[in-house]
Structure 1
Amino acid sequence: MKFGHIYREELERSFPAQWAASAISYNQLKKCIKRVQRELSALGLDAHTLKQLLETAEAQQKARDSEAAAERAKNEAAPEGSRQCADDEHRPLRYRFADAGPAVVPQLLFLVDEATGAPLDAQLAPETRSLLHRLALEAQLTDLRITPDSPPDSPADSSPRRSIASSSLPPTERSNSDASNVPPNPDSSNDPSPPHSSSSPPTDPSNPSSHPPPTRVIAIPLTSDGEFFTRLQTELFALHSLQETEQARLSTTITSIGTLISRVTDPRTGKAAQHDLVRWRRIFEIYLDSRVFFSATERARGPNDAHKAGEAWSRFGALVAADGGVWKKRESEAAMRGFVEINEGLLRHLRFQELNQTAVGKILKKFDKRTALGASSSLPPLASPASFSASFAKALSAQVSSQIVARVPQLDDYLCPVCFTLAYRPVRLRCKHIFCIRCAIIMQREGRDRCPLCRGHTVLSADSDCIDPNLTKFLRRYFPDEAREKQKANERAAAIDQFGERFVDAKCVVM
């Protein structure tokens, strides 16, 4: 089955109607490509011909680059951009996108002799050469360039001159479409000297053949390719707008679910001591270990695609179901439904954006294959298929972690870095690193002054004032079972230090 049918069926089956309406219209863009083909073929520029012309132009440019390598080495102070621009000026054919603000304006440019209007590429079809010659003559009727060969008193200088530079082309280029709209150059009447390019080599006035013939860049007026890229850019902007709307909606839901989870996991005492802190902690522990949207392994690090994220989400659901447990508060059930809805919404949008990225990539590949214009490599970043899904998943995953998962403290964040148990009775050294009181005592007893983390000389100077009372209260509140277990372990270790292990573990014997 062709991609167009699969794409349409996937949109209709898996996504809301509003999303499907904002998706890339793959079939309509295919029709635009056919119109581009017909328009180019009518000008004698079918895909095979254009491919040969572009390959020839590229080969000629590489040859010029190799010949001018020594000269460029001498002029290393010149900016790279100016050298590239000078190289582009000598290309007899190129396809580019003009800088016209947010709009995408494609241009098919040919280099012609300014004096005769004849194309510089001899491989063009007769109808193409005729069109370029006519366009060049029409442009010369309203715009003539002063060349270095023109004497000051020649008839060519007796009439007002117009600059051939425009906002969409480099200073040495001009499109026939805006020839009559270029304003007169205000400095031309004050400067009698002819303009010279800063990158042009000096010429010998006594040798007329040393002057290269003046050239002009002519843009062939095409309408169908502009229609194609305008439609593509409009639909990409619609996708971006849909992403912003969906992101705002999910962001509001994340905030409300985070507030609800904070309320149902508050470990209050007294009659209202019933809470679901332990179960929510276990669920979030499984969620973090599942790495649904981002992978942290060495083999696959970074954001997951829709397929991997879906598999990780399925594993998370299976582990939560196998873990069992009953909610103590009814609000926790609503919070769990909201948490599931947020993640499924993220997965659905991730799949939607990846599907559209695939459609954009395939339609641009088809455009290049049918026209040989190579638009994919020269498309501006604003109009190219950006990674919408990665930025969307990254932003909302970070919000889920900060506003939902972080509401429930995780045991891994409060472990002693030496014994890897809860850092109860936490000792905060002068270097701000925290250890449990038992490990701090052992390090002092062994005379180790360097902090195990930063290697600072802070251990031996620690005393009872370094015990953090606020953190001790926090650990006792949110990790009551672990705190009691660690307290018993500390008391037993202190008894062993004082009386010996044989007296601590000895049992009573009935005589």
Structure 2
Amino acid sequence: MKFAKVFQQVLKEDHIPAEWVSAAIQYKALKKCINRVVCELEEFGLERDILREFLDNPAADAAADGDSNGSSNSGDEVAPLIEYGFEHGLIPKLTVTLDPRSEAYARLERLPQIKSSRLSVTRLPDNSSDNSNARVKIEINLRSDNEFFNMLLTELDQLDQLRRQQETQLLGLINELSTVISSVVDPSQHSHHHHFSSSSMSAQQADMYVWREIFKEYIEANIFFSTAEADSGAHDAEHARRRLLFFAQKVMGDRHEVATMSFRQFEADLSVELDATPNQGSSGDGTELQPHAPPPIEEIDDEYVYRSSQGPYSKALGLLKRVKSAGINGNKASIENTNNNDNNDNKNNTNGKSNAVIAASPPSTQAAVSSKIRPSPNSLILRFKHPSSRPAFKSFWVLNHALLQALQFQTLNQTAITKILKKFDKQTALNSRHTFFPLISSSSAAESAVAAMSPSSSTSLITTTSGVAQYHPFVSSSLAKSICFVIAERLIPVTPQIDDFLCPICTSITYKPIRLDCTHIFCVRCLVLLQRAGEDRCPICRQNVVLDADERNLDHERLKFLKKHFPKETKAKQVETEKIIAKEQMDQLKSSGECIVM
């Protein structure tokens, strides 16, 4: 299948939002424009085969060298030289240097006045006595190639504008998510709300651990890019999709086969777990559930793909704002009503199409849509106790789904640009791709290209002019990678990971952290053992600071932080330390002799 058909099919079948599709590269229109370029070149006698012969002719360089040295043989016809580059504003420029005795020059001279008026002829200086044989430099003002690159640059400007809109909306969603999740997982919030019960405080502590585990799985999934040696760098759209499903598999309790699970089927299952509610007769631990039927396919599209005029994540942002307006730490019923109203809006927006979709589906599809799926008891989602956590996770999923869609859309359009430039070069033999793409994709690469290809050089087949480069972020950087850095900076730290607070000696939490004068931190137990052994050097930097440490080196702020964010771990470390101290005291008693009861 030709790329033009594949391009349109992917835009349609991958549920790309309508405003994205309208901003996509108009591949078919650009192909038609290439045909006009070919026809215009042929009118000037520059057929593709002739241009390719000129470009591939090694005699061109020799002729140029001979001319610069003034040693060209006046009896020999000088081979033509073709130059195709870009001026300011990325305006294409075609220059042909010809011998006035050549057939190509004679053909250009025979052009009608309407054509010859678009030729700018410059006679190059010649050191020979016969100036009539001096080479002629002809600048051909093509109209169709200017139209082609203007159309391509206009579409790139539209894609850049769409990219900026996506960044603004995604950053807004990340900020809202950070605010909601921070309030959900912050145990100190109860002190500012006197109407809170002990169960609410317990819900926040429980959800803090759930969110920490979710973010840990998210970091380890390396969805959009990886820093691991075996898999370093940015991931393509298909790899990112598999990694996102792998993350979802971990969150949902390892009950899905990622290799065989479709994205839409997973989202149907995810909606079950997000909509499942604890049984009224349960103890509140979230293990007894009332599973809901997965929404019909049409509703899944509305709920998770969000093909709206405001982008695929606008609904998630609206959901978070409604949760905040209902009060993150307020009445649980009001937040649940917000979720129910959101679901009812989705059902009303389908206008009865859901039943028609089910009726028109094959029996297997109907069974999958109408059957009730019991959520996995190992699902992290079902461990949420705070009413705001599930809407927040739904928005977090939509954020990553939107990033995946943006990556797919960006990759698809970058491929379209590469292919259309390749087709332009194949049809015209003008070799524009190697100059044009670096100029629009990287400002540094453009400066390098300008420095490497001097306009004054007569031997360059492709030339550029200083200041030509235009920076287009859509083709020069990955939106998914940029947003992932923002997520790592603003969202992940909301629930600190325990790996960042481990003692480098015992590899457990640095409870009662001792900050040495070299600024390295160890738990008090490990530091005591070092001092008992008479070791004065820091295990990390080897400075003599260990024996100088005392109670003044206790980091009280860090201790308060650890107790607040890692209550289970600090308590377990305290119990472990007390057991070790008790064992040491018992061993000392035994070594002093047998116990005598008086």
- Shorter-chain-normalised TM-score: which range? 0.7 to 0.9
Aligned partner of 2:220 among 289, 292, 295: 289
Output the CA distance in 1 between the equivalents of 2:389 and 2:237: 28
Output the CA distance in 2 between the equivalents of 1:371 and 1:11: 29
Kept in 2: contact 1:426–1:472 (CA 8 A): yes
Is the aligned partner of 1:365 residue 2:422? yes
Output the CA distance in 1 between the equivalents of 2:138 and 2:63: 24
Q: Return closer, same or farther for 1:63/1:489 CA change in 2, 3 Å cut-off.
A: farther
Kept in 2: contact 1:254–1:404 (CA 8 A): yes
Counterpart in 2 of 1:178? Answer: none
Note the 1:36-435 alignment, pairs <5 A. Answer: 36-56=37-57, 59-61=59-61, 92-100=80-88, 103-112=89-98, 118=100, 122=102, 124=104, 126-128=106-108, 130-131=110-111, 209=129, 215-268=135-188, 271=198, 272-273=200-201, 274-275=203-204, 276-322=207-253, 323-324=378-379, 325-379=382-436, 381-383=438-440, 388=475, 390-435=477-522
Per-residue deviation, 1:97? 2.8
Output the CA distance in 1 between the equivalents of 2:523 and 2:132: 82
Output the CA distance in 2 between the equivalents of 1:250 and 1:132: 57
Greater mean alpha carbon deviation, residues 328-337 or residues 123-132: 123-132
Output the CA distance in 1 between the equivalents of 2:84 and 2:221: 46
Kept in 1: contact 2:98–2:105 (CA 8 A): no
Output the CA distance in 2 between the equivalents of 1:210 and 1:470: 90
Q: Return closer, same or farther for 1:350/1:460 CA change in 2, 3 Å cut-off.
A: same
Output the CA distance in 1 between the equivalents of 2:588 and 2:243: 48
What amino acid is aligned across from residue 52 of structure 2 in structure 1?
K
2:522 aligned counterpart, secondary structure:
strand
Output the CA distance in 1 between the equivalents of 2:491 and 2:550: 37
Q: Return closer, same or farther for 1:376/1:91 CA change in 2, 3 Å cut-off.
A: farther
What amino acid is aligned across from residue 61 of structure 1 in structure 2?
D
What amino acid is aligned across from residue 56 of structure 2 in structure 1?
E
What amino acid is aligned across from residue 483 of structure 2 in structure 1?
L
What amino acid is aligned across from residue 224 of structure 1 in structure 2?
S
Residues 316-368 of structure 1: CA deviation (Å, up to 9, x unaligned): 11110104232211111111111111111111011001000111111111111
Kept in 1: contact 2:84–2:430 (CA 8 A): no
Per-residue deviation, 1:222? 1.1
Kept in 2: contact 1:97–1:380 (CA 8 A): no
Output the CA distance in 2 between the equivalents of 1:16 and 1:345: 10
Residues 462-484 of structure 1: CA deviation (Å, up to 9, x unaligned): 11110111111111111111101
Output the CA distance in 2 between the equivalents of 1:492 and 1:12: 64
Q: Return closer, same or farther for 1:132/1:490 CA change in 2, 3 Å cut-off.
A: farther
Output the CA distance in 1 between the equivalents of 2:491 and 2:177: 7
Q: Which has the higher contact order (CA 8 A, sep 6+)?
A: 2
What amino acid is aligned across from residue 155 of structure 2 in structure 1?
E
What amino acid is aligned across from residue 48 of structure 1 in structure 2?
D
Q: Return closer, same or farther for 1:471/1:210 CA change in 2, 3 Å cut-off.
A: farther
| Cα RMSD, aligned residues only | 3.2
What amino acid is aligned across from residue 576 of structure 2 in structure 1?
A
Q: Return closer, same or farther for 1:393/1:65 CA change in 2, 3 Å cut-off.
A: farther
Residues 223-268 of structure 1: CA deviation (Å, up to 9, x unaligned): 1111111111111111111010111011111100110000000123
Aligned partner of 1:455 among 542, 550, 562: 542
Output the CA distance in 2 between the equivalents of 1:99 and 1:333: 55
Kept in 1: contact 2:120–2:140 (CA 8 A): no
Output the CA distance in 2 between the equivalents of 1:399 and 1:381: 27
Give the aligned length: 414
What amino acid is aligned across from residue 417 of structure 2 in structure 1?
V
Per-residue deviation, 1:375? 0.6
What amino acid is aligned across from residue 9 of structure 1 in structure 2?
Q
Counterpart in 2 of 1:491? Answer: 578
Output the CA distance in 2 between the equivalents of 1:23 and 1:443: 64
What amino acid is aligned across from residue 567 of structure 2 in structure 1?
P
Kept in 1: contact 2:186–2:208 (CA 8 A): yes
Greater mean alpha carbon deviation, residues 258-267 or residues 481-490: 481-490
What amino acid is aligned across from residue 498 of structure 2 in structure 1?
L
Per-residue deviation, 1:138? 7.9
Counterpart in 2 of 1:21? Answer: 22
Per-residue deviation, 1:399? 1.4
Counterpart in 1 of 2:264? Answer: none
Per-residue deviation, 1:64? 6.3
Q: Return closer, same or farther for 1:500/1:35 CA change in 2, 3 Å cut-off.
A: same
Greater mean alpha carbon deviation, residues 279-288 or residues 263-272: 263-272
Greater mean alpha carbon deviation, residues 489-498 or residues 328-337: 489-498
Per-residue deviation, 1:94? 2.6
Kept in 1: contact 2:82–2:97 (CA 8 A): no
Output the CA distance in 1 between the equivalents of 2:158 and 2:41: 29
Unaligned runs of 5+ in 1: 72-89, 150-207, 505-511
Counterpart in 2 of 1:481? Answer: 568
Q: Return closer, same or farther for 1:39/1:261 CA change in 2, 3 Å cut-off.
A: same
| TM-score, normalised via structure 2 length | 0.64
Greater mean alpha carbon deviation, residues 398-407 or residues 445-454: 445-454
Output the CA distance in 1 between the equivalents of 2:233 and 2:437: 26
